[in-house]
């Protein structure tokens, strides 16, 4: 074996293999944008309940940037008071049309009566671009104030689960006790006029005839 052959073999042994280049996986054309869909649902829920991106991020103990990129669905769902599956409701099969809210786990939301001591728990989040109805579990205690000035679109149905109060709708006043119900137009001023026996707990369902735009 001559010297030239020995040198060539030595070069072959020390020759480095070319480094593999890593490229980011490309999203197939026509694939579903999951992050965008989740973001739309989360944004809708936040807007409905008067929650800002900063407030939700602070409560979830994550940065607003991370929240906006939806890098954690579980923490976001916990702050919004919904199951993570709710944020995925527009993804995949539409077969599951039920929403289960365990006792005491309704989403506590801010409404006009909140500052007056009325507590509202939203029992179901609306699906789709329009709200057809909103079911609330409302609680009033001895710290609550009367406020017969609520007005909103749609028809409202209330059912008294506990307590007693006098409820005004327009020019009429109604004595409502446990087991009583009242149905009325929401665009006419209404609300508790006098709290008689507390705590007062009632189911309030607002029904929108043609759906309320988001």
Confirm whether 159 is domain-assigned.
Answer: yes
Instruction: Based on the fold, state whether residues 210 and 113 are members of the same structural domain.
Output: yes
- Same-domain pairing of 41 and 134: no
Do 141 and 66 share a structural domain? no
Dump pLDDT digits (tens) for 56-108.
777 766 666 665 655 466 666 767 766 666 666 655 545 556 888 888 888 88
134 in the same domain as 82: no
Residue 124 pLDDT: 87
Which CATH number is 178's domain given? 2.60.120.10
Do 199 and 107 fall within a single domain?
yes
Mean of pLDDT over the chain? 76
Helix (H, G, I), strand (E, B) or coil at 84: helix
So what's the pLDDT on residue 27?
Answer: 41
Between CA 134 and CA 151 the distance in angstroms is: 15
Given phi > 0 = left and psi -120 to 50 = alpha, else beta, which region is 106? beta
Looking at the structure, do residues 110 and 153 belong to the same domain, yes or no? yes
How do residues 7-49 score in pLDDT, each as one tens digit?
A: 555 555 555 555 544 444 444 444 445 555 566 667 777 777 7
Alpha-carbon gap, residue 164 to 162, rounded angstroms:
7
Phi and psi torsions of 90, nearest 5°: -90, 5
> Structure tokens of 193?
């006029």
| Whether 53 and 134 share a structural domain | no
What is the extent of the structural domain holding 177?
103-214
Question: Tens of pLDDT along 115-143?
Answer: 899 999 999 876 666 778 999 999 999 99
In terms of domains, do 74 and 123 share one? Answer: no
Structural domains counted in the chain: 2
Domain-embedded: residue 16:
no
Give yes or no: residues 121 and 161 share one domain: yes
Task: Please tell me whether residues 143 and 65 are part of one structural domain.
Answer: no
Number of H helices, E strands in the chain: 6, 7
Rounded distance between C-alpha atoms, residue 83 and residue 106, angstroms = 11
Residue 154 burial (CB count, 10 A): 19
What are the structure tokens assigned to 1, written together?
């074996």
Between residues 202 and 71, the one the model is more confident about: 202
Residue 186 forms part of a structural domain: yes
Q: How far is CA 78 from CA 67, 117, 180, 182, in A?
A: 13, 24, 34, 34
Looking at per-residue pLDDT, the higher value among 93 and 144 belongs to 144
Q: Which two tokens stand for residue 69?
A: 């990129």
**Residue 8 included in any domain:** no
Q: How many CA atoms lie within 13 A of 96 on its CB side?
A: 10
Q: Find the mean pLDDT for residues 183-188.
A: 96
């Amino acid at each position: 074996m001559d010297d030239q052959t020995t040198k060539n073999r030595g070069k072959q042994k020390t020759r480095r293999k070319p480094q593999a280049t890593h490229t980011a996986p490309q999203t197939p054309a026509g694939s579903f944008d999951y992050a965008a869909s989740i973001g739309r649902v989360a944004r809708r829920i936040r807007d409905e309940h008067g929650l800002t991106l900063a407030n939700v991020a602070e409560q979830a103990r994550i940065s607003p940037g991370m929240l906006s990129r939806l890098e954690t669905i579980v923490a976001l769902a916990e702050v919004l008071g919904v199951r993570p599956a709710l944020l995925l409701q527009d993804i995949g099969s539409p077969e599951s049309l039920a929403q289960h809210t365990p006792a005491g786990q309704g989403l506590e939301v801010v409404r006009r009566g909140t500052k007056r001591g009325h507590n509202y728990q939203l029992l179901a989040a609306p699906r789709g671009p329009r709200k057809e109805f909103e079911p609330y579990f409302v609680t009033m205690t001895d710290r609550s104030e009367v406020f017969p000035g609520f007005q909103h679109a749609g028809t409202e149905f209330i059912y008294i689960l506990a307590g007693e109060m006098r409820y005004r709708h327009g020019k009429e006043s109604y004595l409502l006790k446990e087991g009583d119900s009242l149905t009325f137009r929401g665009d006419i001023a209404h609300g508790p006029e006098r709290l008689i026996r507390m705590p007062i707990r009632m189911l309030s369902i607002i029904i929108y005839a043609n759906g309320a735009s988001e």
